[in-house]
Amino acid sequence: MLHITDLSFRHGERVLFDRASTAFSDGWKVGLVGRNGAGKSTLLKLIQGQLEADGGTINLMGRTRIGSVPQDPPGGEITVLDAVLAADVERTSLLAEAETCEDGLRLAEIHMRLDEIGAASAPSRAASILNGLGFDNAAQGRFCGEFSGGWRMRVALAGTLFSDPDLLILDEPSNHLDLEAQLWLTEHLKRFRNTLLMVSHDRDLLNDVCDHIVHIDHQKLVTYTGNYDFFERTRAERLANDAAQQAKLAAQRKHMQAFVDRFKAKASKARQAQSRMKMIEKLGPVATVPVDERINFSFPSPEQLASPIETLDEVTVGYDKGPPVLRKLDLRLDMDDRIALLGQNGNGKSTFIRLLSDRLPPREGRIRRTPKLRMGYFSQDQEESLEYDQTPFDHMNRALGPGTGEAKVRAQLGRFGFSRDRADLKVGVLSGGEKTRLLLALATRNAPHLLLLDEPTNHLDMDARASLIDAINDFEGAVVLVSHDTHLVKMVADQLWVVAGGTVTPFEGDIDDYQARLLRERGGRPAKEAKAEAKREKEKAAAAAAAAATSPATVSKKDQRKQGAEERVKRGPLKRALENAEKAIAKLTKLRGEVEAKLADPATYAGPPTLAADLQKEKVRLERELAHAEHEWLVAQEAYEAA
């Protein structure tokens, strides 16, 4: 369906593709990956004819209809539903022609073609796509101009999906989507019947949808069968094998060269020396295995504070004189918390982050913070505050304040991968990923105790996202995170808080449980897990209270020896229950420590990609069981003391 042969393209003085070749078959779902700046978006433009190659060919089979999301989303006074319907150019053209056509034969042809392409069912199909992307019936009837840029990009995406092209090209399609819409998109793309070429840094999306990966590797296009995890393993094995082979050849070359150097002047060994020199020439020059250098970064460590570091009591918050966004919040943050906020866009996740960071004051209630608490706040909106004609060094020097030495400024920038050369470039020439790293460096300059991250992975490539995961896991303070990157949430969060219905509530379970609940809800089966779990907890508490209430009554003075013996018999089971609870706590604490040690071991991340995620899930499970065991110990302790 698509053949790229000996493609060459230069952007300015930089070579992006040098005689690169690959081919896609019809029906493949291809993920295009590579480091930021490798040329992913450029290749998409070359395929669509928006750029002209310097050399080579790009051939599409037959009359392939290409569909991609336009850079300028629809706006103005056209309804959301009509904007999506207009994306089917053939249907729109035929309907317009049918209104003015006076030729009966042509009119019959038009109606026949409209029937073939399912024009009558088009509004329901378009509405279904829009609903999946978060537009309810009322929103579908509103004008596009009434929505923000992010929501209008969803309209553009819906139109592209509705057009059902032969080759669907998507460039970071999940960037403007919340988890709910992202789940729907994943399922839709899995069912897509035609060919898909997608650029994404979302590991879970690439894993769930793609059956092939094309990697832009040192100006070449290398194709791998399988999803992203399989590509990563296969490439790591290939690099290891290449390195081993090069080491073997280098050893052979060194051995033969030593023979030549030793015996080339001896007549008796001259022939053998000449033979080995020819063999060295056949081996060719020493080749190095190209390995992309990963930029690591880290957050500075704060001093420890007693928990809780922030408490919300009956807090209500909103903007200006508008209606409240969140009401009656009763929550606490501890020093070791790792919390991910979930919920649809517009429910108030960013509002909650601003409330925690003291950027938005509460209307009602009270927020208590530890006096020494320092907070770091990151949001992509902060990019607007960057001075493009100044350098990262200028920004950090100003942020740290007068009198800060150059070494300290460069050390903080160095934590986030800025060498001296990159730190002295104008911000305007930095890549999107570098701007994100600069904002993270500025947010953490004072070693905050509480780090608030609102969509920190935008513009970060796979390697940078992996570095962010490491940095968060190594951070010694609390983290509250908003992210549509489910892989990031899986790897770093041990608590999930759902922002919905005007409030924030903890979710019992992990991100997989939450996704399963969303899928069930989309299937028309409302999830009742949270209510059922709350009911079970109440029943447990009532049973515990009843158990505590059944402690022995006051001792009668009659026959005290007999009474004392009976009480010892009654206390026996309570004591054993208390001892069992203590043993359970000790065992779970030990297991949790072992899991934490594995998570802290770099070797874990060199193994299968699922290992670290499984360990993180195991840690969350153990912590839930430990909390339950501690509750059981408390009940047993109270009952024993009462006895």
Q: What percent of the chain has pLDDT over 90?
A: 42
Residues 6+ apart with CB under 8 A from 309: 333, 334, 335, 369, 370, 373, 449, 450, 478
Element containing residue 386 per DSSP (H, E): none
Cα–Cα nearest to 374, from 352, 349, 353, 357:
357
* Radius of gyration, CA atoms only, the chain: 31
Structure tokens at 296: 């690591």
Q: Are 480 and 495 in contact (CB under 8 A)?
A: no
pTM over 0.75: no
CA distance 492 to 490: 6
Strands 364-369 and 338-342: unpaired
Residues 6+ apart with CB under 8 A from 475: 299, 301, 451
Element containing residue 507 per DSSP (H, E): strand 503-507
Peptide bond into 300 cis (omega under 30): no
CA distance 188 to 208: 11
Structure tokens at 565: 């013996």
Element containing residue 191 per DSSP (H, E): helix 179-191
- Residues of the chain with pLDDT below 70 are 242-243, 245-246, 248-249, 252-253, 255-256, 259-260, 262-294, 522-574, 605, 631, 634-635, 638, 640-643
CA distance 621 to 482: 22
CA distance 172 to 490: 20
- Give the CA dihedral 577, 579, 583, 588, nearest 10 degrees: 50
> What confidence tens digit (pLDDT) does each residue in 273-286 have?
666 666 666 655 55
Cα–Cα nearest to 374, from 279, 457, 441, 310:
310
- The one-letter code for the residue type at 170 is L
* DSSP secondary structure code for residue 117 in this structure: T
Strand order, beta sheet including 195-199: 66-68, 167-171, 195-199, 29-33, 212-217, 220-225
pLDDT score, position 513? 87
Q: Which residues pair with 375 in a beta bridge?
A: 450
DSSP letters of 131-155?
HHTT--HHHHTSBGGGS-HHHHHHH
CA distance 238 to 244: 10
